[in-house]
Amino acid sequence: MRALRRIVAAVLLTTLALARAEVVVVVSARSSVQKLSEEQVADLFLGRASLPVTGGMLEPIDLAEGAAERDDFYRRIAAMSAPQLTAYWARMIFTGRGKPPREVGDVRAVKEQMARNPHLMAYLPRQDVDDTMRIVFVPR
């Protein structure tokens, strides 16, 4: 009976993992950026670098703190948990070395912001990407 419970639990966990949305990094379809490396994405979102694009600078934006996609993204791209990311930004702000990306409320808000500003970069679940955006990086 215990073995059956373990098998059922394993199947459920596997199903949940597969059902979780794949998060991808996107820019506006109007952006000159075609592709980014993992290092570039991490550097941009962690404030360690900037990237000039036609007509301005590429600006990363974050989903709201506590969003599952945000936690998944930073765990994959920077190997940081939510508390580690908070501590990282506290140090960066305190030392004057950077500030975190601007937060937007949810996926809908990201799409609205990107429609207005072609210099934005964000991460979204793949199923929420539409023809106004271009996927420039897929985290492992």
CB 26 within 8 A of CB 114: yes
Who wins on pLDDT, 133 or 15?
133
For residue 104, what are the β-bridge partners? Answer: 63
70-105 pLDDT tens trace: 999 999 999 999 999 999 999 999 999 999 999 998
Block residue for tokens 């979780």 = 20
Three-state SS at 82: helix
What are the structure tokens assigned to 75, written together?
């765990």
Q: What is the DSSP string of 47-70?
A: TS---EETTEE-EEEEEPTT-HHH
| Whether pLDDT at 41 is above 60 | yes
| Whether pLDDT at 111 is above 80 | yes
For residue 101, what are the β-bridge partners? Answer: none
| Whether pLDDT at 26 is above 50 | yes
User: Residue 15: which pLDDT band, with cuts at 50, 70 and 90?
Assistant: very low
Predicted pLDDT of residue 21: 78
Report the C-alpha gap between 5 and 129 in whole angstroms. 38
